Structure 1
Amino acid sequence: MSSFKAPPKKSLGQHFLTDRSYIERIVLAVDPKPGDRLVEIGPGQGAITMPLLRRHCELTAIEFDRDLITPLMEASEGVGRLTIIHKDVLAVDFGKLAGDERLRLVGNLPYNLSSPILFHALEHAASIRDMVFMLQKEVVDRMAAGPGSKVYGRLSVMLQAYCTVTPLFVVPPGAFRPPPKVDSAVVRMVPRPPAEIGVADSQRFTEVVRAAFGQRRKTLRNALSGVCDGAAIEAAGISPDARAEQVEVAAFIRLANQVPAAPAG
């Protein structure tokens, strides 16, 4: 790793994983098999990249920091075939990258971009087989939370509607350089088969969930007043006097499917 001379960039939220035991646990969680199309988001200094390359021989990495590209390519020589896409991951079309295959995504996601990356992946869920991501533990807690939890919210509902979300293990600050101020956690997300999802209109579903959680203290009747009336809420089997954090994912899907589409502008 001597090629990596540049220090982590605070502006990019870089915290490089250095603890070998946690690196091994992440590689075991991914467990690449022959024929898998592995794509790593933000390889950094190659802590996960190189062990995956040794196991799998081929990997595509998406890296925004130009200063890391040459050192990564040098480090991969003799290890495996590394293809680097120098781009903002939010500008990468995973569908186009997958082609006729489905991708397996892995990555230590920057804290400041984790939610946008998760939603970007959701948009391409049909092209993704699974995702193993490391994020801030607080975000993983929100992703996997159930109704009634203090951290159950829009992120929980949106992700669980389209994916099975399974927290795997916690990674302490000391496993990184520089150490972040909070714990991290590794999570696996597996997109659900389209027939199992049941969302009739993804845009309408997004609007309903956003409005419901937009003002958490309000009842659904009030929070959704600009989207639907109490009758539609009741028709979905939900009390209009309930609050969003009390409503399970399947009920939000039923509710969104009850709401008529907005007229074309």
Structure 2
Amino acid sequence: MHIIPKTPREAKHAPRKRFGQNFLHDTSVIGQIVTSIRLDRADNLLEIGPGLGALTEPLLAEVDGMTVIELDRDLAAQLKINIGANSHPDFTIINQNAMEVDYRALAEQVGKGAFRVVGNLPYNISTPILFRLLEFSDVIRDMHFMLQKEVVDRITAEPSSKEYGRLSVIMQYHCASEYLLTVPKGAFNPPPKVTSAVFRLTPYATKPIVAKDEKVFALVVREVFNHRRKTLRAIFKANALLPNLDEVAFDSVGINPQARPETLSVEQFVRLADLVVDHHA
């Protein structure tokens, strides 16, 4: 973990494709995002990928202090100047890859309770970061992210919709999800090729339903959606990683063996995964 020194060099920053950088600049959209988060002054705010600080500054105005994680060293240095970090005694810039941060250790170091996480994530690594953060859900109160709208639609999708899939089931098993607002391409510089959206994930303190084995649950969800056009009976019959369940087994947990994956609720996926665990017991 590297804290940026107090006297960084100032430099103009050109967006870097390898970091997936598109900088938010529309003040109206920024205001809508800040309002949607509903911050309190004492909140333990953590921003991932602050970039040039377009969102950081209005967020910092709403809280007593915050921590930001920025991978790009030049950006992190410039951010300290843009925000005027020396005038904020409780503003910390961490120059590190968000995929490598130990958020539990960071929460202990900051000492303000669970994080409220905010970020305009690089779209090329957004899903891995979300899965990484789920590993630290015990120190995260909620997450507000801007991603490409297609991904947000998938995360917040309802069963029996074309967007509903593996990402929907896994995220909704761990968190309550909520679509907040759509962000047009023109709100960024340079404009991305896709429309964006902002959403909220709130990790469950106590999950509504808990799988007997979460690794088996994740396996079942992945393998079933790898063959989403087939029926459940056909998928389980032909997949080497899954047991060959007969119709009686499906009926025992109230699931139609002729159903297709996108019609199952999160609860039904848990029941199906528990059936697999029991089958191997």
Deviations 1:30-79 (A, max 9, x none): 22213311111100110111111122131111111111111111223225
Q: Is 1:243 aligned to residue 260 of structure 2?
A: yes
Conserved? CA contact 1:164–1:192, under 8 Å: yes
1:85 to 94, 105, 121: 94
Q: Which amino acid aligns with 1:90?
A: M
Q: Is 1:149 aligned to residue 161 of structure 2?
A: yes
Conserved? CA contact 1:18–1:177, under 8 Å: yes
**Paired position in structure 1 for 2:104:** 95
1:63 to 57, 70, 93: 70
CA distance in 1, matches of 2:236, 2:95: 42
Q: Which amino acid aligns with 1:159?
A: M
Deviations 1:141-181 (A, max 9, x none): 11111111111100000111111111011000000000011
Q: Is 1:109 aligned to residue 118 of structure 2?
A: no
Comparing 210-219 with 197-206, greater Cα deviation is found at 197-206
Max radius of gyration: which structure? 2
Measured after TM superposition, the shift of residue 242 of structure 1 is 1.2
Q: Give the TM-score normalised by the residue count of structure 1.
A: 0.92
Measured after TM superposition, the shift of residue 200 of structure 1 is 2.4
**Paired position in structure 2 for 1:169:** 181
CA distance in 1, matches of 2:279, 2:54: 47
Measured after TM superposition, the shift of residue 199 of structure 1 is 2.3
**Paired position in structure 2 for 1:213:** 225
CA distance in 1, matches of 2:114, 2:182: 27
**Paired position in structure 2 for 1:227:** 242
Equivalent pairs: percent with the same residue? Answer: 47
SS at match of 2:61: helix
Conserved? CA contact 1:53–1:80, under 8 Å: no
Q: Trace 1:44-63 onto structure 2 (pairs within 5 A).
A: 44-63=51-70
Measured after TM superposition, the shift of residue 114 of structure 1 is 1.1
SS at match of 2:116: strand
Q: Is 1:43 aligned to residue 50 of structure 2?
A: yes
Q: CA, structure 1 residues 195+185, in 2 after alignment: closer, same or farther (shift >3 Å)?
A: closer
RMSD: 1.9
Measured after TM superposition, the shift of residue 24 of structure 1 is 0.9
Conserved? CA contact 1:54–1:79, under 8 Å: no
Conserved? CA contact 1:132–1:186, under 8 Å: yes
1:22 to 19, 22, 29: 29
Q: Mind listing any 5+ residue stretches in structure 1 that lack a counterpart?
A: none
